[in-house]
Structure 1
């Protein structure tokens, strides 16, 4: 049992080592922007800026420094033309390359705003656009750089911007307090959008990585199951040639006297071929039984199988089962699910690692649902992590836990697998004076119940409540 436990832990650690860890790992997974995306956004900005400048100048009759405005807009257009010819559209830019382009967009937009009124221009809020793009696609330090650049450019507009144009050449004379209020609103907006976009994109990256980890776990479980099928196929295919070898060896043995030295060699070949046939027969019978169980097995056996690798690890691990309210006395048959096995194994493993002396796994059922409750007598869940349980990268007990290092993926993967099979998870601490944690998995009967109508009669031991 200890060897099985060590093997499982080693495989889990190898899996988690393939993924980035901590916030540095999240940043490492980000920080890339596609050139085609930035070029497309810049063309949209060029079209919008050109239309706005021409409409204000010719449509509304406002006096604008039209030549300078169109020159600034043309700079963005020429940059796009250069990028389209110099680089591939699908190129993933490095962080510093993307921040240079977004920095150019920020400076270009700030200069255009400065030519058309600066802080008094109601289109000042468009400085949020490059900041938001940076925050959602680049690493934190690059996003902060673009945000600081936008704020500095807005602050410089108070000293170097042209007057806000008005009709018939009469500029608007807005109070300085209004302009500084406009600047304060822009600064607060930049800070808010930067922080919120960073948090949302980091949460999304964590969730994607955690789901990838769950997929890797399930792929490994399926490969292990496939090895069993391959072993059964091998046993079946080897049966015929071994039978032929055994038959020919017996016929050859009959052609030699017992005193002939070749007789012992031929008899040995026949005995070894017969032994190989017995071994393959045992494998086939075991696989046939496993195939039956693979499709259908008692609920109690599924919990026993999930708990088996963690027995004998210095903590008493007891599995019990009994019907709940309105539940039939016989143990119900369910479909054997690798997802459920792995999830329950992860919960039991965590309970064993934190328990002082005892872990209980209780399987029960009613006429409507199946339940598996895992409890331990350890310190229980920390109060500050209880509301966050089930989120990726949240440690269950406020410290490193078995199988996932300090990443907090173990509980998330197990919860995801339970939900994928139609169940749900409930967690709480035991009521005083007892101490310890309780994790309960609940499924509707239709989610796991076997299509077979038969039930296996098993004597049910009493369960401590």
Structure 2
């Protein structure tokens, strides 16, 4: 039994970030309260307790409101607003306790770092500008601290300016590098998500392969027995003397051969895309053969525009031919009245474009073309998925788009080296 892995959603991450911000606010409230009481009563420095404790009460009230409302997903603007409230509260406290001469002025950097991690780029840089302006403003306007003589120190204007410059520079560097690291982490997460998606698709192919291999094994034996029995019957004098019976035997043998061919297609659909009946041929003959085979029973015309010059010797197995056949079948299901296969070379890359005049792809499915079961009445599902798997195995890619003149175009790009033989001398 397989066990599915659960990955946290963006909403869960946003909720956890809200909780962390609330916890930081509780810590800030506790730390500021301890500092205010220690300075006021322990060092005998008279502080305006009413406005300072009132500011802490506002932060406590905001946290309680957030707790009652629950921790839902917060938008960038909501987080930005919450950080601005914290910056404003810290600014008020610093204004009442010495301004930029207060050593706790560097706590602005905490808000800057949190913003760099959680906010978008414009919000992070705006927070840097606001905290830098607040730092500069506190150097000009603040309530002086009535310190005892033993604690008084005289900071020169040059020192205050240098301190402000140091803070601003640190804030800019923090945002510049933290946002870059956060972007790298997001890119890594996106890459891991793509790898997980590919692993899931390949696991899907493996399971299909196991099912198809079992079915082929079970059906292959009776079909082989029937083929041998019919061959023996064909040699019987009574049947050989009757043209009608001989024709029926031949027809049954053809149907058995057709069943075997269908089983081969089932194995291909299960993901066995290489090493099946490789044939030494040329690129021209291979494409002409694919078009001719499909065209014998095709309900609509199929045209080959061969722009390959010169011809190249290749080893072609059934996988690539079946991938093209799937695309032709998809075009018919999409209501096409004509199909064109265009073959060109772009340097070392072979380009095979399948164009039709059908209904095309639904716009919401174009971004997920090639994923299993992403289908509608207007586009292929597993056919495109299996064709994508064939191209991936050969080192190529598949892309799809709707044509401006109507219909769809599916482009297969693969290195010719994955098919070509050594050039003959």
TM band (smaller chain): 0.5 to 0.7
Residue 41 of structure 1: CA displacement?
1.4
Q: CA deviation at 1:51?
A: 1.4
Tell me the residue number matched to 2:44. 61
- C-alpha distance in 2 between matches for 1:261 and 1:95: 83
Alignment correspondent of 1:158: 139
Name the SS of the counterpart of 2:145 in structure 1.
coil
**Cα offset for 1:123?**
0.9
Q: Scaled by the length of structure 2, what TM-score is found? A: 0.53
Change beyond 3 A, Cα 1:206–1:269:
same
Residue matched to 2:253: 271
What do you get for the CA RMSD once the two structures are aligned? Answer: 5.0
Query: What does residue range 298-317 of structure 1 map to in structure 2 within 5 Å?
Result: none
Shift of 1:141: 0.6
1:70 maps to which of 53, 56, 64: 53
Highest Rg: 1 or 2? 2
Deviations 1:153-196 (A, max 9, x none): 11221232111342389865433333222222211121121112
User: Structure 2 CA distance, aligned partners of 1:285 and 1:95?
Assistant: 50
Take 1:154 and 1:315, find their aligned partners in 2: how far apart are those partners? 73
Q: How many residues in Structure 1 have an aligned counterpart in Structure 2?
A: 282
**Partner SS state of residue 34, structure 1:** helix
CA distance in 2, matches of 1:315, 1:52: 84
Say whether residues 1:50 and 2:33 are aligned partners.
Answer: yes
- Uncovered stretches (5+) of structure 2, i.e. residues with no partner: 1-12, 277-306, 315-344, 350-395, 400-421
Which residue of the other structure, out of 123, 133, 157, is the alignment partner of 1:176? 157
Compared CA separation, residues 120 and 239, structure 1 to 2 (3 A): same
Contact 1:134 1:143 in 2 (8 A): yes
Taking the TM superposition and a 5 Å limit, the aligned residue runs for 1:100-119 are 100-119=81-100
**261 and 102 in structure 1: CA distance in 2 versus 1, 3 angstrom threshold:** farther
1:239 to 207, 211, 220: 220
Structure 2 distance, partners of 1:141, 1:51, is 35
- Does residue 188 of structure 2 align to residue 207 of structure 1? yes
- Gapped regions of structure 1 (runs ≥ 5): 1-29, 295-311, 320-351, 357-401, 406-460
> 2: distance between equivalents of 1:52 and 1:172?
19
More displaced 10-residue stretch of structure 1: 145-154 or 118-127: 145-154
Secondary structure of the residue aligned to 2:45 is: coil
Higher relative contact order (CA 8 A, sep 6+): 1
TM-score (norm 1): 0.49
- Matches of 1:182 and 1:162 in 2, distance apart? 19
